[in-house]
Amino acid sequence: MRDIQHSLIYPYLLLCAAILACVGCVTVNPSNVHVSGSIGSSHPPGTAAPAASVREPAYAPALRKVIHQQEKVAKELQKRDWPELLDESNDWIKYTRALIGYADTSHDPVKFRQRADALLAATEAIRRAAGQHDGNACQRALNACDMPLNQLCRDFPLAITPHRQGSRQSAWTQSKSNQRPSRVP
């Protein structure tokens, strides 16, 4: 009789142990939890929404895409994956052309176009070099993208704060939290 009871209880114990193992425990350290934005926010996850006094210009999302694409191109160049490098450089050209379309939304459309056109020329040089599988020419072209991209980020910040009365600063100042990170070689 005792053997029958043990044989009936044993499967239930295994089932309970399996359920407890699958469920597990989750601990949350509230000091490490960061809530940014709200449901339906236009900001990507992991980035904080700008403060109420800071606004994002219309070109900011397009400029972020261009900046992010530089990282992707650099990564593919390091791997020497020519088909992927060609795809990523084509995307970078597409994003840069879209960025040029936002020139009229900036405070200086002429300068914006000049900077973006210089970036476009350098990205097209990357595509040509990738098509020829020339790593040295790709690296030179990628390095040539730094100056116009840095100038775009400097002259056309991703977040702008309105000019305050009595302030000696320029009408628009760049938010330190939105400065362009340096490129990883």
Q: What is the pLDDT of residues 99-158, one digit of tens each?
A: 999 999 989 999 999 999 999 999 999 999 999 999 999 999 999 999 999 999 899 888
pLDDT at 17 over 70: no
Is residue 166 included in any domain, yes or no? yes
% the chain with pLDDT above 70: 59
**8 Å CB contact between 73 and 85:** yes
Q: Does residue 14 belong to any structural domain of this protein?
A: no
pLDDT of residue 54: 74
Does 7 score more than 70 pLDDT? no
Q: Is residue 30 part of a domain?
A: no
Helix and strand element counts for the chain (H, E): 5, 2
CATH number of the domain where residue 81 is located: 1.20.120.290
Q: Which residue has the higher pLDDT, 40 or 153?
A: 153
pLDDT exceeds 80 at position 48: no
Q: What pLDDT score was predicted for residue 8?
A: 61
Residue 150 lies inside a defined structural domain of this protein: yes
Within-domain flag for 141: yes
Give the dihedral of Cα atoms 92, 93, 95, 99; nearest 10 deg: 130
Q: Give a yes or no: residue 45 inside a domain.
A: no
- Which position has the higher pLDDT, 42 or 170? 42
The first and second tokens of residue 77, run together, are 């160049």
Question: pLDDT category, 165, cuts 50, 70, 90?
Answer: very low
Q: Is 152 within the bounds of a domain?
A: yes
Indicate if the pLDDT at residue 35 is higher than 90: no
Structure tokens at 43: 């900001």
Structural domains in the chain (count): 1
**173 occurs within a structural domain:** yes
Are the beta carbons of 122 and 148 closer than 8 angstroms?
yes
Give the structural domain span for 75: 60-178
